[in-house]
Amino acid sequence: MCEKMMYENELKAIVKASRFRERKIYDNSLIDFASNDYLGLSEKKQLLKRAYERVNMFPTHAPKASLMVNGYHEIHYEFEEFLCRQNGFEAAHVVGSGFLANLSLIEALPRKADVLLMDEEYHASGILASKLLSCEVCFFKHNDAEALEKLLQSKKYKRAIVAVEGIYSMSGDVLNRDIFDVVDRYNTVLIVDEAHSSGVIGKNLLGVFDLYDISPKENYIKMGTLGKAYGSYGAYILSSNHIRDFLQNRAKALIYATAPSLFDIALAHQGMLYIFKHKTRLHQEFLARIDLIQELFCKEISGLIFPYYVQNSQEVLLLQKQLQKEGFLVGAIRPPTVNVAMLRIIPRLNVDFEVTKNFFNKLKEMTF
C-alpha cells in the first residue's frame, strides 16, 4: 500500500513548481475570455442543426476508414472545394486535427538532404514532429526575417522548408510580412500554421494571406484548424496539387488515420459560410476590441489574443482565481508552455462589448 507510485517524484516536482495541470469543468455562467472560440460560433445552435441535417442526408454518418481507403466522403470533398475557392489555393486536404496536420507536414516534407527552419515559437505539435526528422533542423529567432535569411545563407541543402504561424498562439504576434519576401528570394517551401489567424484577421477574416493580400504560390502551404474560430474540430491543409499529392503519399498521419469526422467537417463548413455572410460586422467588432485594448493598455494586438504577463506562476494562478470570483474565465499559462507566466485573454466577439469593457477595467484595477 505504501509502495511508491512510478511517477510520484516527477509529479511532486510539477506541483512544487506550480506547473500542475488539471482538467476542470467550468461553470457555464462564467464569461468566457479563455477559449479559442474567437467569434462565438460554438454557441450558434442553427449551425449545429444545419450540420446535423447535412450529415443526415447520407446513409452513413461516420468516416469508417482512412481517406486513402474508402473514408473520403462527399462532405469532405465539398468542404475542400469550398476552401480552395475561398482561399485561392489549388488543392485542399482535410485532416483530423491541427496537431495531426502539423505532424503530417513536418514529418513528411523535409527529406534527408533538406533543412527545416522553424520559428522558435512554433507550436508544440510541429516541434515534436521535428524530432522525428533525419535532416537538419534549425530554430530561428522569433519572427525575425533577417535571422531566417542568415540561416538560409549559411546552410547547404537540397530544399529548405520554413515553418511559421499566422498569429502566434501565446504571444499573439502576427507573422512578420518580410518572411514572405525571404521565402520567395530563396525559393523555400513555406508552411503557415493559421490556427489562430484564420477566421480572425484579414478583411475577409481568412487569415494572414488575406491580411497582407498575398496570393498562393506553388510552394506555399496554409494549415488551418477548425477547433478555434470555426467552432468545430479538425483541420485542413491548402497547397498546390503536387504538394497535396506528395503528402497523400508520404504523410503517415494522413495515411494511417481514420478520415476526419463528417459531422465536424460539416459543422466547420457551416461556420465558414456564416463568417463569410457576416464578415463586415464581425470585422468591425474585431476592430472595436483591438481599439479598446489599445486605449486601456496602450498595447497593439494583431489578433484576438491578449497576453497579459505577470511575475510568476503563483501570481498568474491567483489572478485567474480572483477574476473567476468576479465571474470571468481567463487562461493562466505557465512555463514550460511559455517562458513568462501570463494570463491569456481572448476578447471573444460574442461577449457584449460593454461587458468586455468592464472586464478590462476590472483587470486594470486589480493589477495596476
Ligand X SMILES: Cc1ncc(COP(=O)(O)O)c(C=O)c1O
Cell numbers at residue 88, please? 485561392
Residue 348 makes contact with ligand X by CB under 6 A: no
Residue 219 makes contact with ligand X by CB under 6 A: no
Question: Pick from 149, 165, 264, 285: which binds ligand X (CB under 6 A)?
Answer: 165
Cell numbers at residue 202, please? 484579414
Measure the CA–CA gap between 244 and 253, rounded to whole angstroms: 14
- Which residue's beta carbon is nearest to the bound ligand X? 98
Residue 98 makes contact with ligand X by CB under 6 A: yes
**3-state SS assignment for residue 165:** strand
**How many alpha carbons fall within 13 Å on the CB side of residue 228?**
26
Question: Pick from 73, 123, 222, 283: which binds ligand X (CB under 6 A)?
Answer: 123
Minimum CB distance to ligand X, residue 98 (Å): 2
In sign, the C-alpha dihedral spanning 168, 80, 258, 57 is: positive
Question: Pick from 193, 210, 264, 285: which binds ligand X (CB under 6 A)?
Answer: 193
Measure the CA–CA gap between 32 and 40, rounded to whole angstroms: 10
Minimum CB distance to ligand X, residue 229 (Å): 12
For residue 142, which of 115, 105, 175 has the smallest C-alpha distance? 175
Residue 235 makes contact with ligand X by CB under 6 A: yes
Residue 253 makes contact with ligand X by CB under 6 A: no
Measure the CA–CA gap between 112 and 122, rounded to whole angstroms: 21
Residue 104 makes contact with ligand X by CB under 6 A: no
Question: Based on CB atoms, which residue is closest to ligand X, 169 or 219?
Answer: 169
Residue 99 makes contact with ligand X by CB under 6 A: yes
Adjacent-strand bridge partners of 117: 138, 162
User: CA 118 from chain center: how many Å?
Assistant: 16
Question: Based on CB atoms, which residue is closest to ligand X, 149 or 165?
Answer: 165
Minimum CB distance to ligand X, residue 266 (Å): 17
For residue 91, which of 259, 273, 248 has the smallest C-alpha distance? 248
Residue 67 makes contact with ligand X by CB under 6 A: no
Residue 87 makes contact with ligand X by CB under 6 A: no
Question: Based on CB atoms, which residue is closest to ligand X, 143 or 149?
Answer: 143
Residue 163 makes contact with ligand X by CB under 6 A: no
Minimum CB distance to ligand X, residue 304 (Å): 13
Cell numbers at residue 231, please? 467552432
Q: What are the φ and ψ backbone dihedral angles of 159, each rounded to 5 degrees?
A: -125, 150
Residues in contact with ligand X by CB under 6 A are: 97-99, 102, 123, 125, 165, 169, 193, 195-196, 225, 227, 235
